[in-house]
Structure 1
């Protein structure tokens, strides 16, 4: 009879739903471990894309060499400008602590490019020594960055990784023109 439902009927309905939810949770495989988080991000091979970028770019493209295998590449791209006379190189990685770090390069105007790839980080005092070169330091709410401006190209090593890890990545960069 409609309209004569009781609290008892509601509780029984909720119990049935609870049993179904519990069964689904129990029988559907899931892994909440740290290794599952690590394996959730796909690793990419950037070598072919780097070779193509080195041929297309009007500047020497920076690619890591000799980084430990605990660094994993997760994204790679080279986008040429519409006129084909310039472009932007991107290589995203996860460091051994699963923090993000990226190599960004472009021959676009440095100020706008740096602001874009660092998500608005601001230049801070002091330089970061990397091998025999000095890099400008940028700090932001989301990303830290090391920036090196050279004639015809700006190289940015940026990400959520701490400055020490960014410097490690920057030190591994090998620049070549294809």
Structure 2
């Protein structure tokens, strides 16, 4: 008789747990649609941050103009330093194929900055023509990058997007001082 009570109690406990799990599943919001994954990364408005960075940075801040709306900004920041050197501009985007691309700029020493924002990518052979300018190619395990070093600022366009998409983003960059 004791064995039957134990089995009966276990079955009842499992039934109660099953009812609780079903109630949680029904009453907790969830989205199983195909757009859920796309909407998981939130789009951010960059206008205020771009204007603020252009006023604060000691170099002309590059931001894209004229990119199709299929490019979505996902993160934006400007971090200044107390000594006025090494300020860093970041603008993260998703391209039309949902690949990551970012614009990174700084007046910090170029070599360390490039290594940090490209996650250790190394200089590759060849250059990428973007309009009338030449950008150095970098290749890494995680990110590829296009790098342009100019007096007082290094601009890096990096991410998981292919070089063609990175070049498209680089071509849309307009550097301005606020």
TM-score by length of 1: 0.90
- Secondary structure class of the residue paired with 2:142: coil
Q: Does 1:152 align with 2:152?
A: yes
Q: Matches of 2:72 and 2:45 in 1, distance apart?
A: 9
- 8 A contact 2:138–2:146 mirrored in 1: yes
2:75 match: 75
SS of residue matched to 1:6: helix
What is the alpha-carbon distance in structure 2 between the residues aligned to residue 26 and residue 52 of structure 1? 45
Structure 1: distance between partners of 2:100 and 2:34: 16
- Relative to structure 1, the CA distance from residue 110 to residue 34 in structure 2 (aligned partners, 3 Å threshold; closer, same or farther) is farther
Is the deviation greater in 62-71 or in 39-48?
39-48
Name the Cα RMSD after superposition: 2.0
Give unpaired runs (5+ residues) of structure 2. Answer: none
Q: Which residue of 2 aligns with 1:116?
A: 116
Matched residue, 1:89: 89
Change (3 A) 1:34 1:126: farther
Shift of 1:175: 1.0
State how many pairs are aligned: 178
List alignment gaps of at least 5 residues for structure 1. Answer: none
Structure 1 residues 123 and 5 mapped into 2: Cα distance closer, same or farther (>3 Å)?
A: farther
Deviations 1:68-96 (A, max 9, x none): 11111111111112112451111111111
The corresponding residue for 1:42 is 42
Residue 29 of structure 2: aligned partner: 29
Measured in 2, the distance between the counterparts of 1:26 and 1:56 equals 50
Q: Which residue of structure 2 aligns with residue 135 of structure 1?
A: 135
Classify the secondary structure of the residue corresponding to 1:10. Answer: helix
* CA distances 1:133-153 after superposition (whole Å, capped 9, x unpaired): 111111212211111111111
Partners of 2:38 and 2:84 lie apart in 1 by: 37
Aligned-residue offset at 1:5? 5.0
In structure 2, what is the equivalent of residue 170 of structure 1?
A: 170
Q: Cα–Cα, structure 1 residues 170 and 35, in superposed 2: closer, same or farther, change >3 Å?
A: same
